Amino acid sequence: MREHEVYSKLRAPPSSRMILRLDGRGFHRLTESLDFDRPYDEAFRDLMIRTCLDLMEEFSPSLIYTFSDEINVLLDSVPFAGRVEKLDSVFSGFASSSFTRGALEAGFSPVKPVSFDCRVIPISSDIVPEYFRSRQDESWRNCLNSYAYWTLRREVGARRAAERLRGLKSDSLHDLLFERGVNISRVPVWQRRGVGVYRVPHRVRGYNPLRDEEVSAVRMRVKVDLELPLFTDEFFEGLMR
């Protein structure tokens, strides 16, 4: 029956770098059922970060970038011999299980099973910064639109809020929020730019008993960056060193 497994030989280019983009499936209903704050909730953010940390420990990517219910995983090498079926299923299943375990441990009880979908994006090193800048731009648009919608929804309800916001440009959304006391440029950085999870060098001190002296060494440790800078070429050059 193997001849019916028509996608089993579909593979990503082995020489490329790779991004796995995970998106929460039906997470607007999930966040509503768990009574998370809108437009942003730190408990939900922490569950997404917990999922990123589990992915970092399991697969050792060079960068994980998350905002809203989206996770982008940057891999320097292609696992599973590039088999797309395997990449899609393993990463989406792992993220779904990690998020569910984290939610239960935090005292939340999802009504329905939690799931992520996954897309495989082979990419050359020279356009990695461009990709992540585009996702960070999307994080900013999501922040602006979410604040505008939920601020207006509390005034006029869901239907009328959606009607009034339809077609508005970013300048108009800025003005709408500012008139209601929200300076969008001053909301927390993680809401505007997303959260990064990556390794940074860290100097540790120890003791050499043979030479009876203190010694130091550089180790890499995982950093959760809630004040992520705007993505630049220099940022990614630092990751690749």
Q: Where in the sequence of the chain do the CATH 3.30.70.3000 domains occur?
A: 1-136+189-241
Q: Tell me the per-residue pLDDT of 63-112, one tens digit each, with 9 for 90 and over.
A: 999 999 999 999 988 889 899 999 999 999 999 999 999 999 999 999 89
CB atoms within 10 A of CB 115: 18
User: pLDDT tens digit string along 125-145?
Assistant: 999 999 999 999 999 999 999
Cis peptide before 39 (omega within 30 of 0): yes
- For residue 12, the 8-state DSSP code is -
Per-residue pLDDT tens over the stretch 25-60: 999 999 999 999 999 999 999 999 999 999 999 999
Is the domain covering 1-136+189-241 a CATH 2.30.30.100 domain? no
- The position carrying tokens 């939690």 is 114
